[in-house]
């Protein structure tokens, strides 16, 4: 299960968050701080998974933006990596050619993430949904 999704810029600025498990505002700040410290410092060629407090965080960097998803210990990391990629592809299609600014300015469209979470659905379905 995905616990939360974070989009962090390379400077550690939060671009988008989505929490699927309850975290208080304080915890959220802490999580973001901890994770951005961990993930932003990782060298480029290392693997895209980080173990963190008994969870796993899968991240992927697109240009200057890091997409991070926190998942359970026994989830399939590569699959989640692809979900991230899938998500980015969808964003890309939705915005034409997605860039960080798109996300910043349209952060409220994050029901997309919800849709992407429903891994099974097809891209076209999702876009149809998102545009409505």
Partner 1 sequence: MGSQGGFGQSKEFLDLIKSIGESRSKAEEDRIVLREVETLKVRLNDPNTPKYKLKEYIIRLLYVEMLGHDASFGYIHAVKMTHDENLLLKRTGYLAVTLFLNEDHDLIILIVNTIQKDLKSDNFLVVCAALNAVCRLINEETIPAVLPQVVDLLGHQKEAVRKKAVMALHRFSQKAPGSVSHLVSNFRKKLCDNDPGVMGAALCPLFDLINADVDKYKDLAVSFVNILKQVAERRLPKSYDYHQMPAPFIQIKLLKILSLLGTGDKKASEQMYTIVGDIMRKCDSTSNIGNAILYESICCVSSLHPNPKLLEAAADAIAKFLKSDSHNLKYLGIDALTRLIKINPEIAEQHQLAVIDCLEDPDDTLKRKTFDLLYKMTSSSNVEVIVDRMIEYMISINDSHYKTEIASRCVELAEQFAPNNQWFIQTMNKVFEHAADLVNAKVAHNLMKLIAEGFGEDDDTADSQLRSSAVESYLRIMGEPKLPSAFLQVICWVLGEYGIADGKYSASYIIGKLCDVAEAHPDDDTVKAYAVTGIMKIYSFEIASGNPVDLLPECQSLIEEMLASHSTDLQQRAYELQSIFTLDARAVKKIMPMDSTCDDIEIDKNLSFLDGYVQQAIENGAQPYIPESERLGISSISDFRSHDVHEPSTHALRFEAYELPKPSLPHNIPPVLASSTELVPVEPSYVIDIPHPTSAPSASDTGSSELKLRLDGVQKKWGRPTYSSPAPSSSSTDLVKVQNEAPRPDSASSSKPKTRDSSYDSRKQQTEIPPEKQRLAASLFGGSSKSEGRQPPSQKNSKTQNHTSDKSRSSKASAPDTAVKPSQPPPDLLDLGEPSIASSVPSVDPFKQFEGLFDFTQETTPASTGGVDGASKDSDFTSLFADMSLSAQSNIDPNPESNGLGGSKVEPTSPQLNKGPNLKEALEKDALVRQVGVTPSGQNPNLFKDLLG
Is residue 107 a contact partner of residue 15, using CB atoms and an 8 Å limit?
A: yes
Out of 14, 40, 88, 130, name the contact with partner 1 by CB under 8 A: 14
Contact 66, 10 (CB under 8 A): yes
Asked whether position 41 contacts partner 1 by CB under 8 A, the answer is no
Of 10, 63, 72, 125, which lies in the binding site for partner 1, with binding defined by CB under 8 A? 125
Please give the C-alpha separations between residue 100 and each of 30, 50, 95, 103, in angstroms, as whole numbers: 23, 23, 11, 5
Which of 37, 51, 63, 72: binder of partner 1 (CB under 8 A)?
A: 51
- Residue 114 CB-density burial (10 A; 0-12 exposed, 13-18 middle, 19+ buried): middle
Chain positions contacting partner 1, by CB under 8 A: 13-14, 16-18, 22, 25, 28-29, 32, 43, 45-54, 76-79, 81-83, 85-86, 94-96, 99, 101-102, 104-108, 111, 114, 118-125, 129, 132
């Amino acid at each position: 299960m995905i616990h939360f999704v974070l989009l962090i810029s390379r400077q550690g600025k939060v671009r988008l968050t989505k929490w699927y498990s309850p975290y208080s505002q304080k915890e959220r700040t802490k999580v973001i701080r901890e994770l951005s410290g961990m993930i932003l410092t990782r060298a480029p060629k290392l693997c895209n998974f980080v173990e963190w407090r008994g969870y796993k965080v899968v991240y992927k960097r697109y240009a200057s933006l890091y997409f991070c998803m926190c998942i359970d210990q026994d989830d399939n990391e590569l699959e989640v990596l692809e979900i991230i990629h899938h998500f980015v592809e969808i964003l890309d299609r939705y915005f034409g050619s997605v860039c960080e600014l798109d996300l910043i300015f349209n952060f409220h469209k994050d029901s997309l993430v919800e849709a992407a979470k429903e891994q099974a659905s097809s891209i076209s379905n999702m876009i149809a949904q998102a545009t409505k």
